[in-house]
């Protein structure tokens, strides 16, 4: 049995057509079902559907042999104990620094000392500012980062941007590019040894359909 971990949300929406083109058709509508383990048209392949940030954990511990996870999640996780096999080219976006549109005046005196940056991506953000020699206090949020500058919680955010509409709707503008993001196929290293014969065709067909 091969277990492939997918994450809910955007990655799932773009993974389903990729899987189907690769001949792996889920037995249920993954966007509707409440089941967390779903079989496929390929008898020995099953899917588990979990939170995006949990995909590296399932794959690292071998609870899933393969997984599809955003580069943002993989970098934030650290990626130890995972093989990053292929960039699938789906769910593409950019990790950006953003701040209130129309300048810096609004930050006031705090801008002269340390910057406060709200993000879900603490590790990536720490590394980004440190590598530029900028002192920043990182405020860890789990979602709705766009709110933080509007209520005085932070001066900047680091968040994913695709169309830019969420930033615009909240009077923010992207100022600096941190990372290009897309979803990658990852594997458990032990499974790659023990189950290589079973995994090889799955990996080959997913990698072949990438970015189409
Ligand atoms: O549910 P959970 O809290 O675990 O995750 P989530 O709801 O934040 O995101 P989810 O599950 O939909 O998908 C997460 C993965 O999708 C990320 O790890 C990325 O790899 C990928 N992805 C691609 C995105 C986006 N594009 C994206 N635009 N994840 C989130 N966004 C959000 C962004 O955070 C912002 O709030 O969409 C908003 C911006 O979109 P635009 O189009 O308005 O710019
Ligand atoms: Mg979500």
pLDDT, residue 55, reads 98
pLDDT tens digits along 94-115: 999 999 998 754 555 555 568 9
Cβ pair 116, 137 in contact under 8 A:
yes
Would you say the CB of residue 45 lies under 6 angstroms from ligand 1? no
pLDDT at 93 over 80: yes
pLDDT, residue 108, reads 57
Q: Alpha-carbon distance 199 to 55, whole Å?
A: 17
pLDDT tens digits along 115-144: 999 999 999 999 999 999 999 999 999 999
User: Which residues are bridge partners to 37 per DSSP?
Assistant: 48
Q: Which residue has the higher pLDDT, 104 or 59?
A: 59
Q: Alpha-carbon distance 157 to 97, whole Å?
A: 6
The mean pLDDT value for 184-212 works out to 94
pLDDT, residue 161, reads 98
Would you say the CB of residue 88 lies under 6 angstroms from ligand 1? no
pLDDT, residue 19, reads 96
How would residue 86 be classed by pLDDT, with cut points 50, 70 and 90? very high
Instruction: From 6, 7, 8, 9, give the residue whose CB has the most ligand 1 atoms within 8 Å, as the site to mutate.
Output: 9
Number of neighbouring beta carbons within 10 Å of residue 194: 13
What atom of ligand 1 comes closest to residue 70's alpha carbon? 20
User: Which residues are bridge partners to 49 per DSSP?
Assistant: 6
Helices 10-21 and 196-209 sit at what angle, rounded to 10 degrees? 100
Cβ pair 69, 86 in contact under 8 A:
no
pLDDT, residue 159, reads 98
Would you say the CB of residue 10 lies under 6 angstroms from ligand 1? yes
C-alpha angle with apex 34: 208 to 211, nearest 5 degrees? 15
Q: According to the 3-state scheme, what is the secondary structure of 169-191?
A: HCCEEEEEEEEEEEEEEEECHHH
What atom of ligand 1 comes closest to residue 166's alpha carbon? 43
Ligand 2 centroid to 143 CA: how many Å?
9
Q: Alpha-carbon distance 158 to 102, whole Å?
A: 18
Would you say the CB of residue 164 lies under 6 angstroms from ligand 1? yes
Domains of the chain with bracketed CATH: 2-91+182-210 (3.40.190.10), 93-179 (3.40.190.10)
pLDDT tens digits along 148-161: 999 999 999 999 99
Q: Alpha-carbon distance 180 to 182, whole Å?
A: 7
């Amino acid at each position: 049995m091969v277990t492939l971990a997918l994450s809910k949300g955007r990655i799932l929406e773009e993974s389903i057509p990729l899987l189907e083109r690769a001949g792996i058709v889920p037995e249920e509508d993954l966007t509707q079902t409440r089941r967390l383990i779903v079989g496929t048209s390929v008898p020995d392949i099953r899917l588990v559907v979990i939170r995006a940030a949990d995909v590296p954990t399932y794959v690292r511990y071998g609870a899933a042999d393969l997984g599809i996870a955003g580069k943002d999640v993989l970098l934030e996780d650290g990626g130890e104990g995972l093989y990053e096999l292929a960039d699938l080219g789906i769910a593409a976006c950019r990790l950006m620094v953003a701040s209130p549109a129309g300048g810096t005046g609004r930050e006031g005196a705090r801008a002269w000392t340390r910057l406060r940056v709200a993000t879900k991506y603490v590790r990536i953000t720490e590394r980004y500012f440190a590598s530029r020699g900028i002192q920043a206090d990182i405020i860890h949020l789990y979602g709705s980062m766009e709110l933080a500058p509007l209520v005085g919680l932070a001066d900047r955010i680091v968040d994913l941007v695709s169309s830019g509409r969420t930033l615009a709707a909240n009077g923010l503008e992207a100022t600096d590019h941190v990372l290009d993001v897309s979803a990658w196929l990852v594997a458990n290293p032990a499974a790659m040894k023990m189950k290589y014969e079973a995994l090889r065709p799955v990996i080959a067909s997913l990698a072949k359909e990438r970015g189409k």
